[in-house]
Structure formats: structure tokens, C-alpha cells
Amino acid sequence: MANFVLVHGAWHGAWCWQRVTATLQRAGHRVHAVTLTGVGERAHLLSPSITVDTHICDVVNLIEAEELQDVVLALHSYGGLLGTAVADRVAQRIKHIVYVDAILPEPGESWSSTQSAATQQERMAAAQASPHFSLPPPDPAKFGLQGADRDWVMRRQTPHPGNTYQAPIQFDVQRVAAIARTYVSCTRPALASIDPSRLRARDAACWGGAWLPGSRFVELATGHDPMVSDAPALSQILLDSAR
């Protein structure tokens, strides 16, 4: 039996993993899908005081409170940023990290670091115009979702805490690189803001040369929310990572 900890991306919540959670549980594994502070069913806690460190603590505290070992840590999108710092803090508890079309950060970077100046300005302006300094959710069609899947995600997305956007993280590259890692690149359609991370995941210079050894790269022919659009394929990648 493996211990899975599933960390969603921006504007999402634990709800987005429902289809994956069901498959992993049927296979006999323990699954914990985190909802980060201020989003999903915790949207009532939305506040300018929430930072990326708040979200790091959400995940670290879950792992420690549940006394989890040999964790398969699945990180979607923005979750790749904070989850890398989680792996640094509780490396002894992590068996495998799965970056699901996720930000692959370098030390000292923030969510905004790999995005264009225009995107950064647009998002910060939107946060300043909001009542709780938050980032409004995009249309899920941007993630390649259509029909009922798009509508399902559209109904559930919530604004994301704005002070997570420019906050940098620090981590020990060697400590995190000692953990087995998989990068899942979603290609149809490929979300442009993840392109820098996709390139890094195949770059021998990433993490000063420490990323490629001990990592694998997998492509899924689906959009940015594979836990919705291709849950069976993503679930199989997660199950493979638990072996």
C-alpha cells in the first residue's frame, strides 16, 4: 500500500483529483488530496496574508500529522513550486515526486519568475483590483477542457491568493534531487506558461545538472488538467511511480 499526497494547482482544490483518487483507492492505496488555504472548500479563508509558505505548510503539516512515509507526492501546475519546497523540508518522507504539467522551479524563483512581463503585470493588476488581493480564475477552456468537463471545473474554480504569485522559494537541489522524480508533460493543447518548465525537465543544466539523473519524462496527449481530461492515464503514471 502506497501513500499518495495530491497537490492541486492555482484556482483548484482537492475536488479536481476526484477521478484519480477513486482509481488509486480501488487499487488499495491511501490517498490524501490537499486543499490549499484560501481556495476550494477553504475559500472562506481567502486573505492577503496567505503566501506560498502558507501553502507549503498546508502540505507539510498534512504529511506530518498523518505520519506518512514513502509518499508519492503529485504536484499539479502551481503545486510544483510549493511542492518542491515541501520535498526539501520532509525529504525523508518522500518516495517519488510527480510533477503534473507543473512549475519546475530553480532555487530563489517564484510562480511569476518564468512568465512574461506582460503576464506578470496583468495578474498583479487583477489582484490589486480584487477585494482580497486575489487572482481571478481563467476559463478552463484554456486548459483544453470542453463540454461537461469545462463546465464542471468552471463551477468549482475559486480566486487564488495573490501574494503567492511573486513569493520566491528556496530549496536544497541535492536534497530534492535524491528523490525519484517524474515530469508529466501535457501536450494537447500545451499550456504556454508551462513551456519553460517542460524545457527544463529535459535540460541537462537544470538544477546545476542534478535534475536529469534519477528523473523520467512522460508525455500525455491531453490538456493541462489531466486529472480531469485523462484520469486513467494519469492514475497509471502515479501507480507506476509507487512501485
- Whether 83 and 97 have beta carbons less than 8 Å apart is answered as yes
214 sits in the region (left: phi over 0; alpha: psi -120 to 50; else beta) called: left
Query: Of 47, 49, 77, 235, which is the active-site residue?
Result: 77
* Euclidean distance between CA atoms 166 and 162, whole angstroms: 8
Residue type at 143 in one-letter notation: F
* Euclidean distance between CA atoms 97 and 11, whole angstroms: 21
Q: Is 47 one of the catalytic residues?
A: no
* Euclidean distance between CA atoms 8 and 242, whole angstroms: 19
* Euclidean distance between CA atoms 144 and 190, whole angstroms: 8
Residue type at 224 in one-letter notation: H
Residue type at 90 in one-letter notation: V
Measured at the CA of 166, the angle between CA 121 and CA 189, to 5 degrees, comes to 70
Residues labelled as active-site residues:
77
